[in-house]
Amino acid sequence: MSGGAWTRERILALGFVLPALAWTLVFFVAPFGFMVAMSLWRRAGAELVRDWSLVNYLGFLARPHFVEGLLNSIEIAAIVTAASVALAYPLAWFIAARVPAGWQRIALALAIVPFWTSYVVRSYAWTLVLSNKGVVNEWLTSAGLISEPLQLSSTRFATVTGFVHFFVMLSTLTIFANLKQLSPNYARAAADLGAGGFQTFRLVVLPLTLPGIMVGGFLSFALCLGDYITPQILGGNNELVLPQIIMLQLGRRADFPMASALSIILMLTVTLAYLACARWLKLERA
């Protein structure tokens, strides 16, 4: 290949890359850099003081309800991730192993139907289902299992339920893709060596599909951790999570430096989660 041809190819490749690169720089890198800078400023009355200090980060540690909000976010995200993966794996396995190949696309389409509904609409739908006069309480009352309605709405249970309804489908897709790439020869080889069904799953299938599990789990954790809408609608204000606290800093106090610092802390938490899953995420990319 001549040097001129190589140059033309590089110019052509650069032409394809530049629009996406420019978009990323303008709408992500630059705003993120500005947010980092603002997190080092402070609000004094109605003015911003650019004194470049860690006062907002120290203020986060000094306010117990801020730390509690972060811990609530991590706990809810961890519960949602575990529940979503636990429900998604059997569903993904059933579609991959038991549904005929010609029907698998239809089964997946039915599985991801919740994605086609507005995020806000789904959350409000769950408030109707879990309210004191909702479907769940009405059914339990009519069945004679309870005499008084259970307090299901405006609780952590409601928040987790709304999240799981959404993220179980996301995990199903990632796990299904990993299961479809798994050669059936592995299970046959395990059977030839005397392994039973459970041993084959525990020692062969599960380790080989762990990258798909980790991808779905990480995406569920990261998206859940930064979500504001579902906790606001389903959880109410009984148990604040960090995204809600960030919105309160913006909407009620107009404290943009503190909100920026809290956002950076949230992003650092997601980064730590990514580093914890990096080994399996690299395997999935490979």
Q: Give the whole-angstrom CA distance, residue 96 versus residue 92.
A: 6
pLDDT of 108 above 90: no
pLDDT band at 4 (very low <50, low <70, confident <90, very high): low
Match domain 56-285 to its CATH number in 3.30.465.10, 1.10.3720.10, 1.10.230.10, 1.10.1060.10.
1.10.3720.10
How many Cα atoms within 13 Å fall on the side-chain side of residue 209?
A: 32
Decide if pLDDT at 31 tops 50: yes
> Which 3 state secondary structure label does DSSP give 148?
coil
- Please, which pLDDT band fits residue 1 given cuts at 50, 70 and 90? very low
Average pLDDT, the chain: 88
* pLDDT, tens only, 109-150: 888 877 777 888 888 899 989 998 888 999 989 888 888 889
Question: Does residue 167 or residue 10 have the better pLDDT?
Answer: 167
Q: What are the domain boundaries of the chain?
A: 1-39, 56-285
Overall pTM > 0.75: yes
Q: pLDDT of 49-83, one tens digit each?
A: 888 999 999 999 999 999 999 999 999 999 999 99
pLDDT given for residue 282 in this prediction: 63
92-102: burial string, b at 16+ Cβ within 10 Å, e else: bbebbeeeeee
